Amino acid sequence: MKKHNFSAGPCVLPQEVLKKAADAVLDFDNGLSLIEISHRSKPFVDVMENARALVLELLGLEGKGYKALFLQGGASTQFLMVALNLLEKRAGYLNTGTWANKAIKEAKIFDDVYEVASSKNANYNYIPKGYEIPSEYDYFHCTSNNTIFGTQMKEFPKCPIPMVCDMSSDIFSRQLDFSKFDLIYAGAQKNMGPAGATLVVVREEILGKVSRHIPSMMDYKIHLNKSSMFNTPPVFAVYTSMLTLEWLKNLGGIPAIEELNEKKSTLMYSEIDINPLFKGYAAKEDRSTMNATFTLENDDLKETFDTMWKEAGINGLNGHRSVGGYRASMYNALHLDSVKTLVEVMSELERKA
Ligand SMILES: *Cc1c(COP(=O)(O)O)cnc(C)c1O
């Protein structure tokens, strides 16, 4: 039986995408596997170009000076690469949790970093608001969705300098004016595909302004000039991401998936709020539509609850160690039925308790 996969990442992907990807591993092009053909062959170059074009199309960024790249090293390498390419003197970072801290740590290797605001004082259960971004800084960096703490930025600040955003765990999940951002990055494994590819969407004109010598593999310009084929790209991850983007486009794109994601998260949070056994972790106005974090009010019920959800075919519900409790990750490919199943288990626990 297919599990209800609430895993935080790697995570659920559309079943039809998995089938097509599996087929391509066996036979992609006249008896050759996707992972044994040259990345310079026409069939694969077409895949890469199609994937890059779909990204811009879905985000509404076609013809606006942006390019999409599929790189490697995960979002974690972007923490470093962003700073190498954009940080000359000082950058402003919004500290909203574990991933933001990791981004800050890497940027500090190169130059000065200023935390424009932080929610550390409340173990990152909310998104800071009302802060100023100094106009003399090189760029501002934020994390749109905090996968671990279950908070999500609903609004983005007015930003007088280039705005860089780690959208690893909510890209393609909701409508935003993506042209507000100058550089967006995301590890593929949360809403787009398998681990191994990292998406970077960059407004070309912000590049080439720092004085340092950038190593080739870390240089966005080099990857852009080589059409995301400077070295062998992660072919399987790019292909599978392309399939997911096609799936999303056929579904009606971001507006359609946003509607579904709203339904899932509304159902999830209404159970958390109505059921006296559970408590939501994140501040209500900042709750993530992707990762719902919650705890049991009475720890004695933990064993019973854990047995119940596992028996219902649910996977990946344990919270991250820095928050504890539970985390229901509801990425694009998760069905509404999976959330219904979880909510039923939660109300069943209330009846039993
Ligand atoms: C998972 C995650 C990362 C780390 O991604 P890797 O691809 O594992 O390096 C960074 N930022 C956010 C917001 C994440 O959710």
pLDDT value at position 292?
A: 98
Residues 111-156: tens digit of each pLDDT = 789 999 999 999 999 999 999 999 999 999 999 999 999 999 999 9
Average pLDDT, the chain: 97
Ligand 1 close to Cβ of residue 92 (< 6 A): no
Task: Set out the domains of the chain in order of their start, with CATH numbers.
Answer: 15-251 (3.40.640.10), 253-352 (3.90.1150.10)
Catalytic residues: 99, 166, 190
Q: How confident is the model at residue 1 (pLDDT cuts 50, 70, 90)?
A: confident
pLDDT value at position 111?
A: 79
Tokens (6 digits) for 313: 């075919």
265: pLDDT strictly greater than 90: yes
Residues 72-114: tens digit of each pLDDT = 999 999 999 999 999 999 999 999 999 999 999 999 998 789 9
Residues 190-227: tens digit of each pLDDT = 999 999 999 999 999 999 999 999 999 999 999 999 99
pLDDT value at position 353?
A: 85
User: Stretch 15-31: mean pLDDT, rounded?
Assistant: 97
Residues 152-186: tens digit of each pLDDT = 999 999 999 999 999 999 999 999 999 999 999 99
Decide: helix, strand or coil at residue 85.
helix
With 0.85 as the threshold, say if the pTM is over it. Answer: yes
Residues 47-67: tens digit of each pLDDT = 999 999 999 999 999 999 999
Asked if residue 305 lies in contact with residue 328, where contact means CB atoms within 8 angstroms, the answer is no
Question: Could you tell me the distance, in angstroms and rounded to a whole number, from the CA of residue 130 to the centre of ligand 1?
Answer: 26
Q: Which residue's C-alpha comes closest to atom 3 of ligand 1?
A: 75
HSE, CB side, 13 Å, CA atoms: give it for residue 5. Answer: 17
Q: Which residue's C-alpha comes closest to atom 2 of ligand 1?
A: 168
Q: Which residue's C-alpha comes closest to atom 5 of ligand 1?
A: 75
Tokens (6 digits) for 259: 């509607």
Q: What is the 3-state secondary structure (H, E, C) of 260-304?
A: HHHHHHHHHHHHHHHCCCEEECCCHHHECCCEEEEEECCHHHHHH
